[in-house]
Amino acid sequence: MSEHAQVQTYATCNERTYPLVVAHYQLVLEQLGCTNVHVLQWLDGLQWPKSDDDGPGDIYAAPFTLTPTHEDASNATIECAGIEVSLYLNAAIPSTEELPAWVGFNLLFDADTLRENSNAPYSANVGILMWRIIQTQAGAFRELGAYFTDEWQENQSWRALAAQLGNPWDFDLAIFPRSQSEHFSEVPAGFEGTVTPQGFGFAQTNRWEKLPWREK
């Protein structure tokens, strides 16, 4: 089975707001150039679990194409391997109050299509497309931002921010909002950053041929 990479974003929700959050994500995909009717209909059909026997999420396991740069007329495309939508009904945060659930959206990619091998950096073209995807998602989901991660890093930043467990810097590329900056106050060696309209962007420099926000 091929290794996956993913762009991850999250939102708090409850049974009433869950359909609105999913619809918002659907709109984000459309903004990124998704015209696949099957993907959009699948998102339309997602429902809050009715019992403990219902799974806390779902997966769309078929490829589809995005055109993240369609607004600047470059029409560069990237193929996604699928989408995972996961509900986290208990964020493992000790509290005497009822806490909101989290929904996580994983936009999946076949890592073999993004780089020459597992040790190679992501190409400049991939960086431009991922940066545009992350900018769009971080602008739409402002609680935690958006994170491009490999399989080993999956959900680690969310755990660090939502449950104070682990290292928030477990990503290859991310934009996080200013409201979360206290969790990122100590920048590890090997990261470089930039300021964006959505907050702060950071990348592990050795994972990219060129820093993704430097398009020229």
| Residue 80 in domain | yes
| Residue 15 in domain | yes
Cβ atoms of 207 and 215 within 8 Å: the answer is no
Range of the domain at 66: 4-207
Angle at 176 between CA 174 and CA 177, to 5 degrees: 160
With a cut of 90, say whether residue 150 has pLDDT above it.
yes
Q: Note the pLDDT of residue 74.
A: 66
| Residue 213 in domain | no
| Residue 214 in domain | no
Q: Phi first, then psi: give them for residue 135, nearest 5 degrees.
A: -60, -45
| Residue 11 in domain | yes
State how many domains the chain has.
1
| Average pLDDT of the residues in 109-120 | 89
Average model confidence (pLDDT) across the chain: 90
| Residue 8 in domain | yes
Q: What is the pLDDT of residues 53-99, one digit of tens each?
A: 666 779 999 999 999 975 665 678 999 999 999 998 765 555 556 66
88 token code pair: 């986290």
Torsion of CA 59, 30, 78, 213, to 10 degrees: -110
Q: Note the pLDDT of residue 142.
A: 96
Q: Is the whole-model pTM more than 0.75?
A: yes
In SS3 terms, 175-199 reads as EECHHHHHHHCCCCCCEEEEEECCE
| Residue 212 in domain | no
| Residue 168 in domain | yes
What is the Cβ-side half-sphere exposure of residue 189, based on CA atoms within 13 angstroms? 0
